[in-house]
Amino acid sequence: MSMYCYQCQEAAGGKACTVAGVCGKTPEVANLQDLLIYALKGVALRVRAAALDAATLGVTNRAAVDGLFTTITNANFDAEAIRWQIKRVLALRDALPLPAGVTLHDAATFTADGPDAMQRKAEAVGVLTTENEDVRSLREMIVYGLKGMAAYAEHAANLGKENNDVYAFVYEALAATLDDSLTADQLVALTLRTGEHGVKAMALLDEANTSAFGKPEITTVDIGVRQNPAILISGHDLSDLAQLLSQTEGTGVDVYTHSEMLPAHYYPAFKKYSHFAGNYGNAWWQQLSEFERFGGPILFTTNCIVPPKSEALRGRIFTTGASGYPGCTHIEAAANGVKDFSAIIALAKTLPAPKAIESGSIVGGFAHDQVLALADKVVDAVKSGAIKKFFVMAGCDGRMKSRAYYTDFAEKLPEDTVIMTAGCAKFRYNKLGLGDIGGIPRVLDAGQCNDSYSLAVIALKLKEVFGLTDINDLPIVYNIAWYEQKAVIVLLALLFLGVKNIHLGPTLPSFLSPNVANVLVEKFGIAGIGTAQDDVELFMQA
């Protein structure tokens, strides 16, 4: 096989991509990403061997989370950019002190000078080098959780918020995935600790976003178009959006959000920009047809890139941060974090205004502070029986036809239920017009996938309000869609918080070995999905 990758929900045949990635990445890129992870494990081994304090490793910390983030599904398809990352990581690794008399794993000492050497090494350090299927499964689940955690840590760091405990755990966990002495039980425990630090990373990002841009508010977002030239911004990084809005102010160029950037409209700081026009389009996987209709330049701030097929479209796509695609212009930040978006703005001025693909509006902004402000109303609705159950339907959307399940499920839910959502999974049902219950909308959108933290905060607060000792006694059902590694860390975070009986779909992760899957079923009640009608009946009876 030319590659082996099974980190996302669309792994070929429900097993693994071995010829080319369903996401579109080539074997070369897949293998280089494996080598980047291997090099980062080497950094972690040196940090741990020398007992270095993460608080003293600023540049290395940022390189570690950026490297992990780069390997998330659909983030970076540029082999040359990943080779550069590997070179940077190896240089940082080799600059770390190496205690005398300590013999370290190959990951902490190997060299790979030049593309050919990198490729040879990459092919020798992939997922399958861990022969024991169960150990491999647990190690990979930890690494995938770290990738999701790294995404949130990088967004927070871009806004000046960092947590050295998170960085220290990244090193600890990466090093542990090379420790053959660890038992399966110890790796399961480490998996839960990954969830614990995922909560810390999500709380850190929540603090970073709200301190910089205010607390999300209930907001009506226009989904139509105006007549001005425009830029479409996709991904998750609010720091990039803030800079783009500032630089486009007064230029006659509008800015629209796409997919996971939709929740930016809920933040007060962005509402001052009259040229922040609205949201254009739906979940990430529909982008190629929507980008053609949009007509203007697109800025990718993070993952969720679908490989653009035409040279013309690649010429309108710009990437920044951890994202990248060959043939697209990449914008790097200056040393002070400032990015120059003048090339995007100049291109926008030469292109026509977007063509409408829909009209109307959608409502969101139900992050934890906003929902807790309505706590009395929510509690009264539950006590009166007006609300029977809450359904957490957070997570990711994707291309598989089986994901129509989530639209069908939402439509079949009784009218005395409320959906709490975050992430692009919401595009399966946030335009259905499901109405409200006594003024409480039946779809409460907390924001991006990282804002699943809000849903956990809400659940914990409701547990307190209702005087319960167990979060699982709340009238809340978890029916979560997953696609990539940020959904993995959300799942692990929920498990750490004690949430049980989570249903995960449209398929269970292929990186779960049968034995590891059984542990999750027996210990945490993890389950898959059935038909929408059967599941609605099952959950309403619970």
Query: Is the Cβ–Cβ distance between 221 and 363 less than 8 Å?
Result: yes
Confidence at residue 306, expressed as pLDDT on a 0 to 100 scale: 97
Confidence at residue 392, expressed as pLDDT on a 0 to 100 scale: 97
- Domains annotated for the chain, with CATH where assigned, are 12-212 (1.20.1270.20), 219-349 (3.40.50.2030), 365-541 (3.40.50.2030)
C-alpha to C-alpha distances, 133 to 116, 193, 513, 516, nearest whole angstrom: 30, 21, 6, 9
Output phi, psi for 344, to 5 deg: -65, -45
| pTM for the predicted model, two decimal places | 0.97
Tell me the C-alpha distance between 219 and 426, whole Å. 16
366-390 burial by CB neighbour count: b if 16+ within 10 A, else e?
bbbebbbeeeeebeebbeeebbbbb
Q: What is the pLDDT along the chain (542 residues), one digit of tens a residue?
A: 799 999 999 999 999 999 999 999 999 999 999 999 999 999 999 999 999 999 999 999 999 999 999 999 999 999 999 999 999 999 999 999 988 888 999 999 999 999 999 999 999 999 999 999 999 999 999 999 999 999 999 999 999 999 999 999 999 999 999 999 999 999 999 999 999 999 999 999 999 999 999 999 999 999 999 999 999 999 999 999 999 999 999 999 999 999 999 999 999 999 999 999 999 999 999 999 999 999 999 999 999 999 999 999 999 999 999 999 999 999 999 999 999 999 999 999 999 999 999 999 999 999 999 999 988 999 999 999 999 999 999 999 999 999 999 999 999 999 999 999 999 999 999 999 999 999 999 999 999 998 999 999 999 999 999 999 999 999 999 999 999 999 999 999 999 999 999 999 999 999 999 999 999 999 999 999 999 999 999 999 97
Confidence at residue 495, expressed as pLDDT on a 0 to 100 scale: 96
Query: Is the Cβ–Cβ distance between 490 and 449 less than 8 Å?
Result: yes
Give the largest Cα separation in the chain, rounded.
70
Confidence at residue 450, expressed as pLDDT on a 0 to 100 scale: 87
Residue 500: which of 542, 530, 532 has the closest Cα? 542
Confidence at residue 1, expressed as pLDDT on a 0 to 100 scale: 75
Residue 511: which of 77, 9, 2 has the closest Cα? 9
Q: How many helices (H) and strands (E) does the chain have?
A: 18, 15
DSSP state of 378: H
Output phi, psi for 330, to 5 deg: -105, 135
Pairing state between β 317-320 and 503-505 = unpaired
Residue 167: which of 67, 81, 252, 273 has the closest Cα? 67
Provide DSSP, 206-246.
Answer: HHHHHHHH-----EEEE-S--SS-EEEEESS-HHHHHHHHH
Query: Is the Cβ–Cβ distance between 462 and 491 less than 8 Å?
Result: no
